[in-house]
Amino acid sequence: MPLLVVGSVALDSVETPCETRENVLGGSAVFFSYAASYFSAVRLVGVVGDDWPHQHTQLLQKQGIDTTGLQMVPGAKTFRWRGKYQPNMNDRETLEIHLNVFETFDPVLPPEYRKCKYLFLANGSPITQMKVLDQMPEAALKVADTMDLWINLQRDELGQMLRRIDGLVLNDSEAKLLTGDENLVRAGHKVREMGPKFVVIKKGEHGAMFFSKDETYVMPAFPTARVVDPTGAGDSFAGGMMGYLAEKGNATPQTLKEALAYGIIVASFNVEDFSLDRMKQIKRADLEERMKQYRQMLSF
Amino acid sequence: MPLLVVGSVALDSVETPCETRENVLGGSAVFFSYAASYFSAVRLVGVVGDDWPHQHTQLLQKQGIDTTGLQMVPGAKTFRWRGKYQPNMNDRETLEIHLNVFETFDPVLPPEYRKCKYLFLANGSPITQMKVLDQMPEAALKVADTMDLWINLQRDELGQMLRRIDGLVLNDSEAKLLTGDENLVRAGHKVREMGPKFVVIKKGEHGAMFFSKDETYVMPAFPTARVVDPTGAGDSFAGGMMGYLAEKGNATPQTLKEALAYGIIVASFNVEDFSLDRMKQIKRADLEERMKQYRQMLSF
């Protein structure tokens, strides 16, 4: 089933203890789309300026991603982010953020996009996210991401948005910020009580936790010795998860658990190089091979 | 098979955001012994002063732990530790440490103890740990713990000790300190290359990682909403792990993996109250019940 994602499309500058890369392809909707494309048809909605290199669009199209919804605004600049990772490669600092054309992003979905049954609202304000929800009355599974910025600045709107979605994906620090609870098990369920039927807390190198009314579980990250750039790990996790749900065409507890595992596997590849550089090298078979190792790792 | 543990026996004062407890039963060998006692016969070697409440010894004996090796030094004081937990209940600060009688602890093992096949060297200096190894030439499985203090102060002796043991258990921060590597997968294997056949990195609320020549894996912690006092979690993890290995009488890859899981389960109970208060309430059947849930959690 086709999967629609609405989110940021960006040019990232990434500083790690080993190396710095300037203006590489990034953005939540980009990482998400590429990850999801291993599993299902993906339609991307986002906005860029006329500084956007056309080869980035071509890369996404080559992967089968429908970029009809990627709007180019003449005279405007693309969203830019600069971040620096600590030696542990898990904590990072945002050095610069220029929303540029993303600041006034007002997504209007092409008519055929509105029929998508699977929807992911990547990084964006809850106000924008709700505008998308307004256009998607027929979506069967609506999942969103959020971040500290919106928890701090638009908590009321975030609260409204949470009552309109099926699932929320957020970081551990964001779950603590949103609930004021330092225990992630309690925090996960408190977020769930704000509206979504399920909540996924991303813990970076420590994996992910899942919460529904009847289930609480944790899945570890796939252990990798090669962590070059964690940027986009959370979005590629969400992309793998949602792509798999769209492929299966259901969101039963069993499928959701498999989907979380696929998200973890995709993210473990994403961190192995800058931008989409590692993802560009892999095929579905590579994901399946690592999934087999992951299943073995968790069997005893 | 009987399991021998040599380590600290202490009176702990624990400050958490909710509550403070003064002079409660603690110490690495105590938490270890109690956890291991669910699985195998345990012999404890440690030292206390004449301020030691006899009921603590009785509690251990009631659980079937052989305390013949618990030496009482008249006129001396028991090892005391005071710590304070941050609101996340994972990070802690040592406020006071009085080694007292533990400072000159020179364990001399009773003759019948020297025949034990399973040995755990809990918290102690590598010099002391090697003195125990000298007395245990017949031990089939020798596993040790270490901590930042010894990595900083007795690195050479620690290096010697590492070449004489089969397995090492240490915290994530200690693995980073010992190897200078921030990536835990690489750090784990670097520690292994220092001598032990296997290494276990404890990650607190994030579970544990295992490293041998042929295996690298991660197991998440059992998610619990009730974290009252994490003191002794690492030692009860090691106790559950070693107790299970001693019960099975082997350390095959399969048994080691099961042992890690049991360690995780025991630790998840230990944190649910101060000192051994939660452990005192549970039986082997409670561990098995939670193990069943843990296996389900990791199956998909």
Q: What is the tens place of the pLDDT at every residue in B56-95?
A: 999 999 999 999 999 999 999 999 999 999 998 888 999 9
Which amino acid, residue B12?
D
Residue B13 confidence (pLDDT): 96
Predicted TM-score (pTM) of this structure? 0.95
Closest C-alpha among A191, B255, B224, B59 to residue A201: A191
Instruction: Give the pLDDT score at A123.
Output: 86
Name the residue type at position A234: G
300 residues of chain A, pLDDT tens digit each: 799 999 999 999 999 998 999 999 999 999 999 999 999 999 999 999 999 999 999 999 999 999 999 999 999 999 999 999 999 888 899 999 999 999 999 999 999 999 999 999 998 999 999 999 999 999 999 999 999 999 999 999 999 999 999 999 999 999 999 999 999 999 999 999 999 999 999 999 999 999 999 999 999 999 999 999 999 999 999 999 999 999 999 999 999 999 999 999 999 999 999 999 999 999 999 999 999 999 999 999
Percent of chain B as helix, strand, coil, to the nearest 5: 40, 25, 35
ipTM for this prediction:
0.92
Cβ-based neighbours of B250, under 8 Å, separated by 6 or more: none
pLDDT digits (tens, 9 = 90+) for A20-41: 999 999 999 999 999 999 999 9
What average pLDDT does this structure show over B105-113?
Answer: 93
**Shortest alpha-carbon distance between residue B102 and chain A (Å):** 35
The dihedral region occupied by A176, where left means phi > 0, alpha psi between -120 and 50, and beta the remainder, is alpha
Of the candidates A241, A276, A283, the one whose C-alpha atom is nearest the C-alpha of residue A118 is: A241
Interface A–B counts its CB contacts (< 8 A) at: 72
DSSP state of A204: G
> What is the chain B residue with the closest CA to A227?
B183
Once rounded to an integer, what is the mean pLDDT over residues B253-270? 98
Spatial distance between the Cα atoms of A40 and A19, rounded to a whole number of angstroms:
34
Cβ pair B207:A219 closer than 8 A: no
The pLDDT of residue B8 is above 90: yes
Q: Judge whether B43 and B59 are in contact, CB under 8 Å.
A: no
Q: What is the mean pLDDT of chain B?
A: 96
Is a pLDDT exceeding 90 seen at residue B227?
yes
Assign B31 a pLDDT band (cuts: 50, 70, 90).
very high
Q: Which of B88, B218, B225 sits opposite A185 (nearest CB)?
A: B225
B87: chain A residues, CB-CB within 8 Å: 182
Sort A51 into a burial class: Cβ within 10 Å, 0-12 / 13-18 / 19+: middle
* Partner-chain contact B183 A227, CB within 8 Å: yes
Average pLDDT over residues B127-137: 97
Nearest to B93 by CA among B105, B101, B85, B104: B85
What average pLDDT does this structure show over B202-224?
97
Tokens of A228: 């070059």
Letter for the amino acid at B77? K
Contact B196, B167 (CB under 8 A): yes
Q: What per-residue confidence (pLDDT) applies to A11? A: 98
Structure-token pair, residue A143: 């999942």
Q: What angle do CA A216, A177, A162 make, to 5 degrees?
A: 65
| The pLDDT of residue B91 | 87
